[in-house]
Amino acid sequence: MLMIRLQRTGRRNEPHFRIVVTEKTTSPRGKYLESLGYVNPLEKKRSVNKERALYWISKGAQPSATVTNVLVSEKIIDTQKIPNHKKSKKPAVAEKQAAPVAPATPVA
C-alpha cells in the first residue's frame, strides 16, 4: 500500500522533512517514489505540490496523520484535521465521579 508520509532530512536539532510517496513497509529513510514537497518546522515554512498530491491520493495513496493535517492547512484536501496525540491510559475523572462507591455497612 502506498503512503504519503514525512521523511526526515535535517541535521541534529535542525529538523527538516520531505513529503514523499513510498510503500508502507519501506524504511522511513529509504527510497521513495516521488517527493511532493517539504516542511521546515523551525522557520514555519512548507510547500506541497497540489496537483501531484491529489494525483497520488486518487491512485489510492493514504496520507499519514501529520501529512493529512498539512494538506488540510494548505487547503489541498477538505477534511477535518486528525488529532495525532496519544490518548491517556488513565481513566477519565468523569468516569470516577459517575459511579460512586457505596459505604460499607458493618456486619453485626
**Which comes out higher in pLDDT, residue 60 or 106?**
60
CA atoms within 13 A on the CB side of 101: 4
What CATH code is assigned to 2-73? 3.30.1320.10
The cell for 5 is 508520509
Q: What are phi and psi of 8, to 5 degrees?
A: -75, 135
pLDDT tens per residue, range 13-48: 999 999 999 999 999 899 999 999 999 999 999 999
Question: Which one, of 12, 78, 62, 9, lies nearest residue 40 by Cα?
Answer: 9
Predicted confidence at residue 41, as pLDDT, reads: 93
Indicate the domain borders of the chain: 2-73
Helices (H) and strands (E) in the chain, counts: 3, 5
In sequence order, which residues have a C-beta less than 8 Å from that of residue 100 and are 6 or more positions away?
none
